[in-house]
Structure 1
Amino acid sequence: MQYALYYWTGIQGRGEFIRLALEDAGADYDDVARREGDDAITPFLEGRHAGALPFAPPFLKAGRLVIAQVAEILQYLGPPLELAPESESGRLYAHQLQLTITDIVAEIHDSHHPVASSLYYEDQRSEARRRSKDLRENRLPKFLGYFERVLERNGGRHALRQHSYVDLSLFQLMSGLDYAFPRAMQRLKSELPLLDALTRHVAERPRIAAYLASPRRLTFNQNGIFRHYPELDGPT
């Protein structure tokens, strides 16, 4: 099957979690908005297309199906792309872990936009300093420490005892945090050896390595989820 991925142009954003799974599996997919522009997304958001009504990108078109939300899309793609366990219990656990990644990604976004997404960062700079301090000192250690224990309980190399879309999403999470909070992550990584190793192992997978070296992999920037503001990264 050819998949059609719809996500905003110019940023990795939440669409990158889907893109990594498609790239790792060597799937046939069309990154529609990058080819046609963001206007290709509008008919779906306005309900002028058959199928389910997505709230926002990313969403995936697979045949007649229109599937939105990162965790939902990955749950759907996992089995056909061989990126999910065969057992029901394993697939449910993968979905649970992905939903937890969704939670921390939302908190990372809110560290630089704690008041409102509609406001510029400069309009909420003081609130962002307070929010990012809590993220660095409390929330990141809690979430990343949890995923470190997940890896330890499953043999150390994978989140689910086998390579899965959860590993790919953890790679994206760690890569984004390295960009956004390099000083904070340098301090935290001494307690996260398994997550650090997972990040390196995923980057070395042949299709992922080729993707990362290609123009399809956009760089992190100040318009995406993971943004680097030095004043939010804590002391040197």
Structure 2
Amino acid sequence: MAEAPAKRQMSSKEGPYELIYWGGMPGRGEFVRLLLEEAGADYTDTAHIENGVKEVLGLIDEGYKGDGDNPPPFAPPILRHGDLVINQTPNILLYLGRRLGLAGNESEGEGDSYRVNELALTALDGFSNEVHDCHHPISTGLYYEDQKEESIRRSKDWVATRLPKFLGYFERVLNSPSAGKGPWLHGGQLTYADLVLFQGLDGTKFQFPKAVGKCRAAGKYDKVFALYDAVLERPKIKAYLESERRQKYSLCIWRYYSELDVE
């Protein structure tokens, strides 16, 4: 007689959350960390665990097949919560945001979380994905030095056209009725979209300090930079940013090369 399948263990509703990401750089894991920090959630982070990289490598190894419920992850960041294992940054943010009260007002339905996610996805496009491509416009498999000329050309165009486009869009959002009162993007309250915009803009400021400084001085995006400053003053975010757990920018999404620091 065949054995009955093992009873599925439900995910814990209390945590802890397990963030599985590379150590030594903020990277895409930083978007997840800021959400967890703001919420005061109980979580572990392989970036700060001895030999934590082994867990990252184990989950993305070609020989790992996942389990009965979870497909094998493609790449970190990866979140484990109980028996749930998910990857893809916006997927993790949507899951955590809804659980931790940072996905808008869902008291009358689920629509708000998707509005917040829309804003977060746009910020990830502009201030993470496109910024990364400025120093790796040809191939992620090539060194920066192998595509330096193309990177300079890409960066000049991005600073001239895409940076003002994304800043202008979020300034328009902040001036829209849906933003509500206060410095936040949606509904008059802090959501994870604000944290994503903050982190993306902070990294972009590291990579393009001249261009971002010029945009701020121009006075055309005052509400965007007011949002940035407001996140900086969130007590839990401020404590985290001042702690040793906040990793320094290095060879990850946001990189500083003097020749790319164009105005």
With the shorter chain as reference, the TM-score category is: over 0.9
CA contact (8 A) 2:207 2:255 kept: yes
- 1:173: Cα distance to partner? 1.1
Q: Which runs of 5+ in 2 are unaligned?
A: 1-14
Letter in 2 for 1:166: A
Question: Percent same amino acid among aligned pairs?
Answer: 47
Determine whether 1:171 maps to 2:168.
no
CA contact (8 A) 2:23 2:46 kept: no
CA contact (8 A) 2:19 2:43 kept: yes
Deviations 1:51-81 (A, max 9, x none): 2321100010011111111111010011221
Residue 192 of structure 1 corresponds to 221
Equivalent of 2:257 in 217, 229, 233: 229
CA contact (8 A) 2:22 2:46 kept: no
Residue 124 of structure 1 corresponds to 147
Determine whether 1:134 maps to 2:149.
no
Larger of the two Rg values belongs to structure = 2
Residue 215 of structure 1 corresponds to 244
Q: Which runs of 5+ in 1 are unaligned?
A: none
Residue 124 of structure 2 corresponds to 102
Task: Provide the secondary structure at the position in 1 that maps to 2:196.
Answer: helix
Equivalent of 2:26 in 8, 12, 15: 12
Residue 43 of structure 1 corresponds to 58
CA contact (8 A) 1:183 1:234 kept: yes
- What is the Cα-based RMSD across aligned positions, in Å? 1.3
How many Å separate the matches in 2 of 1:6 and 1:64? 14
Q: Where is the helix percentage greater, Structure 1 or Structure 2?
A: 1
Residue 100 of structure 2 corresponds to 81
- 1:48: Cα distance to partner? 5.0
Task: Provide the secondary structure at the position in 2 that maps to 1:41.
Answer: helix
CA contact (8 A) 1:147 1:195 kept: yes
Number of residue pairs matched by the alignment: 234
Runs of 4+ in 1 over 3 A off after TM superposition: none
- 1:33: Cα distance to partner? 4.0
Task: Provide the secondary structure at the position in 1 that maps to 2:103.
Answer: coil
Determine whether 1:203 maps to 2:232.
yes
- 1:192: Cα distance to partner? 1.1
- 1:180: Cα distance to partner? 0.8
- 1:49: Cα distance to partner? 4.4
